[in-house]
Every structure is written in C-alpha cells, then in structure tokens.
Amino acid sequence: MLEGYADTEDCKRVLLKNCEYVAEGEKGFSDFIFTDPVEAVLFSMYTDAFFLLDEDLKLKFLEPKPDLEVVHYMASRESESYRSLLPVFQQPLSMYLRNFCVDLLSGPKHLLFVDLSVEHSREVWSKTDYYEKYWRVGKRLKTWKVFKKIDEHGFKPIDLMIYPTVGIGEDFYEYFAGVMLRKKGYLVSKLGLGITYASDMYAYYLPSMQDALSELSINGAFLPELGLLTFNRKRQFGTPRYRTGIAAVIEAEPTPGRTRAGRDARQLKGNGFGQARSHLRASNGAYNMAFAVGPFCTASDAPSDIGLISFDESGNLVFVEREPEILSSDCVSAYETLIKGSVLLNIPWDERLRMLGLEKSFRGCYTYYDSVKSLNILELIQQIKQGVLPV
C-alpha cells in the first residue's frame, strides 16, 4: 500500500457498506459485483475502469459532453458570473446502451482491481501516457490468464470490468462523492456552470426540478442518468431533504493530507479544502456550497465553511454539509435550463420541437435555448409518463 493512499480493500469496504447495488465478488475471479449493469457503466464513466471486449479491445465510457453549447459570455451583474451550458445535439446514454452495448445490459458485472503499485511509483504512473498504461495492464491480464478464467466461470469478456490503480486516485473519489450526493437527492455532473476555475465535479439541488423528477421516482442522479428515463430501473436513492437551491463545487483528493490542506478559512490555494474554497469564491456567487473529498478524514477535520465527504478505515461514511447562501434567481434559472435540456435529450428531435412550439418557427440556437428556459418541467415529465418516448 502506498503511504497515505487507500488500497483496493478500502475501496471494497466503502462500496459494499454504502452502495446497495454492490455485492461481494466471486472468489478467485473478481473483487466485487455491480448487480445493476447501468451502475457499472456509471463507474466506468467516472473512474479509470473499463470493460473487456476481447483480448485486444476494451470499452470505456465517458460522461457525454454537449456537441453544441449555449454560453453566457457576459453576466448581467458582477455578482452573477456564470455560464449556462445547454446540451442540444448530444445523444442520450440510452442510445449507446441500446444500439451498441446490448450484451453489457445482460446481467451483473464483475470488477477486478489491477494494482500496479509494486511495479510503479505513483509519480511515474501519473506521467505515463494513456496507451502505455493500458499496455501494462494488458500484460498483467495475460499473466493472470484472465480470459481463461472468464471461460472457466462461464462468463463473457463484457461481464468483467478492469480497474487499474497505483494507489487509489482522484477518479475514485469523484465517483464516490457523486454516489453519496446522489443519495442525498443531488444531481451530479462534471458539467459546471461557474467560470474562471473548473472543479472536479459539480452537484445541483433545485427544489422545482427535484419535485418534478420525483414523479418519475428520481430523487437524485448523475446527469447522464437523465438520458435513461425510458429504462425500467429500480431506483434506490435517497429522499430529497432541502427546500432551497444548492449548487456545489467538489474537489477530490487521493490522500487525507491533501484533503485536509487549506483548513484555515484564509487559505485559497493548495489542495482539498483550500482549493474548494478558492473555486467557491471565484464563482462570484454562482455556487453556494463546496465539498472536499478524500479518504480517512473525520468530521472534525472539516473547516466551518467547507463540507467533507470521506470514510474511515472500516468503510463508514463521513458526510459534512455547510449552510448554503441563497442563490440568485438568474443562477437558479441557468441550472434549471441545464437540467431541462438534459431531460429533453430523451425525446426525438421532431417531437422535441413540437413540445417546445418550434415545429414551424425554429430559428437555431437562440430560439431553442429561450424555449427550453421557459419550458414547464412538469409538462415535460407528464409527456414522458404518458409514453411519448419510444420503449
């Protein structure tokens, strides 16, 4: 184990204890199992984990980024420096799963850690290019005769995920933070609306959006999950608890020391708490909450102005929130537009224009953005519930 870093056993403990869709792995084959294959897709999307297709090819998911975005380049007031990022010509996650990854949805997915910390230092690994990393992982898989084991256990390569690590890195904590915030009712994404700096992750809680999404039994989600509204999934997430708008920046760190950095409220540099505070203040009011995320911290480590998401050596969750300031109505409107635009991705383009009243008057990005901004989210949800979407 690298000093200060969590190891694979720590990861297993915290996921088994805090995620209902994670089960013990099969001895001699995997470290743990995702009982819901869509959850395995999300794990791949936010970490370095990937699926096997065969001995030469892997399948890696990334959080979809809009092919086209509509951006505020000038705020109306200095205190409202934000940008609105609206997905327009972006495919929903359901399209990829239905058309390219049918086998992936066939059942539970196993995950196997490939720990390379004996052969590589964290510093060397972080500077190793993408392709050499996977070449080294491939060599290890051949040494372990993984594909022979897949056959012996009666599985297909797509049933196994590989997670290469040299000490558990920031990617795991980004995912872990997203899962824990989702359970609290937040909508979580790498899409940020703040300017000047870019945080690792963002989380939004908007009462009007959450109330509407609860009609579809969605009480928190990763943003790409809003493109899966036609999937019949059992949702196991928490109940929303807030009645005020929240927009949070999230900074992930791989060690407790880096997470605790910047505990003093005057510190705006460095890692962890200091970096989260810096991003929060740089947003000029567009965000009103911040979290630092990392392993083995206690509630007492959190400063008075920054939240904390962590776990102890037994895998018990440590979750600290701070009271948010009030978001301006302009900022809330921008975040609501992002959420509505994401939900609209479920609807075919022609039907989308009809719903927005643009079938005869569509004039490009501006008219689309303006119509989405004024769209009643409850009307949109009712259209989905009534079966407008193809099954």
Per-residue pLDDT, 172: 96
Residues sharing a CB contact under 8 Å with residue 9, sequence separation 6 or more, in sequence order: none
Task: Please give the biggest Cα pair distance in the chain.
Answer: 64
Whole-angstrom Cα distance, residue 35 to residue 16? 12
Which of the two residues, 234 and 10, has the higher pLDDT score? 10
Whole-angstrom Cα distance, residue 355 to residue 232? 24
- Tell me the mean pLDDT in the region 331-341: 86
Element (H, E) at 125: helix 122-127
pLDDT band at 389 (very low <50, low <70, confident <90, very high): very low
- Determine the 3-state secondary structure of 390 from DSSP: coil
Checking if the pLDDT of 332 tops 60, the result is yes
Element (H, E) at 37: helix 37-46
**pLDDT tens digit string along 215-268?**
888 888 999 898 888 676 655 455 556 678 999 999 999 999 999 998 877 666
What residues are paired with 161 via a beta bridge?
Answer: 51, 111
Which of the two residues, 178 and 126, has the higher pLDDT score? 178
Q: Is the CB of residue 276 less than 8 Å from the CB of residue 306?
A: yes
Per-residue pLDDT, 153: 92
Q: Is the CB of residue 1 less than 8 Å from the CB of residue 302?
A: no
- Tell me the mean pLDDT in the region 293-314: 96
Q: Highest mean pLDDT: which of 76-80, 220-224, 317-321?
A: 317-321
Per-residue pLDDT, 81: 39
pLDDT band at 195 (very low <50, low <70, confident <90, very high): very low
